[in-house]
Amino acid sequence: MSEFASSTVVQPEPLLEVNDLKMHFPVKEGILMKSKRYNKAVDGVSFSIKPGETLGLVGESGCGKSTLGRCVVDLYKPTSGQIKFEGQDVALLPKSDKLAFRRNIQMIFQDPMESLNSRHTVGDIIEEPLIIHKMGDALWRKKRVLELLDIVGLPARSVTRYPFEFSGGQRQRIGIARAIALNPKLIVCDEAVSALDVSIQSQILNLLVELQREFNLSYLFIAHDLAVVKHISDRIAIMYLGRVVETASAETIYSGNKHPYTRSLLSAIPIPDPHHKPDRIVLQGDVPSPINPPSGCTFHPRCGHCEAVCRSEVPRLRNLESAAHRLSCHVDLIS
Amino acid sequence: MSTVTDSLLKVSNLAIEFDTDEGQVRAVDDISFSVQAGQTLGIVGESGCGKSVTALSLMRLLPQPMGQIVSGSIEFEGKNLAQASIKEMEKIRGARIGMVFQEPMTALNPVKTIGKQLIESLLLHTKMSADKAIQAAVAMLDRVGIPSPDIRIAEYPHQLSGGMRQRVVIAMALICRPSLLIADEPTTALDVTVQAQILELLKELQDEMGMSVMLITHDLGVIAETCESVVVMYAGKVAETGTVYDIFDKPYHPYTRGLLNSIPRLDSPSKSVLNTIEGMVPGLLDLPSGCRFQNRCPHADETCTARAPTLDARSATHEVSCHHWLNLAPHKVS
């Protein structure tokens, strides 16, 4: 291959593409338990993830970030919208291909104590996906489990132990070993480091970055801690009440953000430096209920830049200078 | 801290033990610190370091009969709380010392209206009439930022959001105007934007009432922002203590440095390798010999395994518990 040919910029195909995804849960009420209203947990979200890329998904509790993650790994059937994995619509996959799709997309949960079966040994837990996907024989699987333990930094003797014998950080390593067992292409991390102490959290974050480099993994990294997300992500999407309000590179979200919600979220983070005097935009009130969201821009009751148009019209997610920075706001903020 | 001019609370050589199936466990070992009047002291450490147990022991709320204060004194407003009788403690809890816990739903009674819970301590600790108490409760709810407090007072905890519940708990803790507020991870369960609201509210109320606050948290950002002085705890011992500037600008203890270096910061480059503290916090039943941090410390040698370090004064405000702190260059964490 000539030098010239390889230097032409080829945009890699997105690994995962989500288009206008909606997940509405019926709210059952009244004596007949009829559902007249819907909890619009995810209400029209689009994004894509390239191979080897990390997309951080940030928002406060109830913004729909976990629901979105669960839709992506096919745990929920979305109300409408499309999820494409390697160019194929996941909803249209024949049953025979579904298993292969599931192999390529795995999940790491917040609480490893709840997501690991406490009656199984660590060896059984890590081997289970290999058995389900009928990979290798018993001997090969045993070797693979030891290899995986080594990759995540756990001693080989862990195989015969039970999850309760491990600390929180080590349990999260077990969860990671299970998630990478099938050589997936995408891992959805749902608050994967939120329950860990700071000194352990940094160990796990380093491990995730290392694994990504080694296996060219993509991550959908869901968390509420913007400092952690900024550290691990290439791009970040900020969610508020079921919608994405801003997406940009991690650097732009930090230094060139445009959405008032992104700004207040960033300014609310306590900085570990006593000389830093916070210039804080304190939001009034709480996140409204997704069952009965405010009219127009759902952020308008808490927004310091609210104008008449914000109360009546829903802002579209539009491109700013390029498709790399997208914003859903009527008001143009000068940075 | 050695300068104790007008400390409101002075804890000296406190040790707490728990009776467990596997034997006697010393959860807090010989710790001393003080809270100055009107100031905020932060206690920081990882899970299991003994920070919450310390807070509970100040209120004499250790789980009974397993948890016992085995030695040391807790001097508060002229009394030694470590020796106080149950009757005396009942007069202090809620009246002189208020407490706010992490999870507001467990701190509130789900079957009582928030009004009932608010006036309870007023009726118990003051001679106020029920009518006056209700008025005071409405005023307090208004002060902590609950909209339409006269209606909200008749509601139950489940009708409020997480942030609102924490405001109610703060109102409850402060309604008798205590001189000390102990806040154990008060914002950990809350979203960042709500956390910012609550921290600001606590600061305002502290200035207004002139009370002292003892803030327990694992979040170094919260410490840097709210505290005047800091105690860093590790495995039941004080590792380092000083003013917030001592701890953040000139940390000497390898554990403090490790903690400060391992947090991802907003202005650090993405996907850079974070510094880590190797290994994990030891269990209280299998503590290493000598210095408790020795098995995770990059500077450990024979001295550290042989004997436990004492708390050495580096300056009038700054104390370090490490054999090697003199040889460790002052270190500004980037």
pLDDT in tens, chain B (334 residues): 444 457 899 999 999 999 988 888 999 999 999 999 999 999 999 888 999 899 999 999 999 889 999 999 999 999 999 999 999 999 999 999 999 988 777 889 999 999 999 999 899 999 999 999 999 999 999 999 888 899 999 999 999 888 889 999 999 999 999 999 999 999 888 888 888 889 999 999 999 999 999 999 999 999 999 999 999 999 999 999 999 999 999 999 999 999 999 999 888 888 889 988 888 888 888 889 999 999 999 999 999 999 999 999 999 999 999 999 988 876 555 4
Give dist(CA B332, CA B334) in Å, integer.
6
Structure tokens at A24: 């509405």
In terms of Cα–Cα distance, which of A61, A19, A13 is closest to A190?
A61
Contact check, Cβ <8 Å, B218/A198? yes
State the nearest Cα–Cα gap between B206 and chain A, in angstroms: 19
> What pLDDT was estimated at residue A4?
45
ipTM field: 0.84
In terms of Cα–Cα distance, which of B277, B272, B236 is closest to B254?
B277
Contact check, Cβ <8 Å, A287/B191? yes
Instruction: Specify the 3-state DSSP secondary structure of A128.
Output: helix
Cβ–Cβ under 8 Å, residues B320 and B252: yes
Q: Which residue of A has its CA nearest to B282?
A: A167
Q: Which domains does chain A have, with CATH numbers?
A: 14-29+37-327 (3.40.50.300)
Contact check, Cβ <8 Å, B200/A265? no
CA–chain centroid gap for A194, Å, is 13
Q: What is the DSSP letter of B143?
A: H
Q: Residues of chain A with pLDDT > 70: what percent?
A: 96
Q: Give the one of A228, A271, A274 whose C-beta lies nearest to B244's C-beta.
A: A274
**DSSP state string for A72-122:** HTTSS--SEEEEEETTEEGGG--HHHHHHHHHHEEEE-S-HHHHS-TTS-H
Give dist(CA A70, CA A75) in Å, integer.
5
Which residues of chain A lie closer than 8 angstroms to B199, CB-CB?
Answer: 270
Give dist(CA A215, CA A176) in Å, integer.
13
Establish if A268 touches chain B: CB-CB under 8 angstroms: yes
Q: Which residue of A has its CA nearest to B201?
A: A282
Give dist(CA A203, CA A190) in Å, integer.
17
How do beta strands B312-313 and B229-234 pair? unpaired
Residues contacting residue A88 through CB under 8 Å, at least 6 positions apart: A97, A101
Which residues of chain B lie closer than 8 angstroms to A228, CB-CB?
Answer: 264
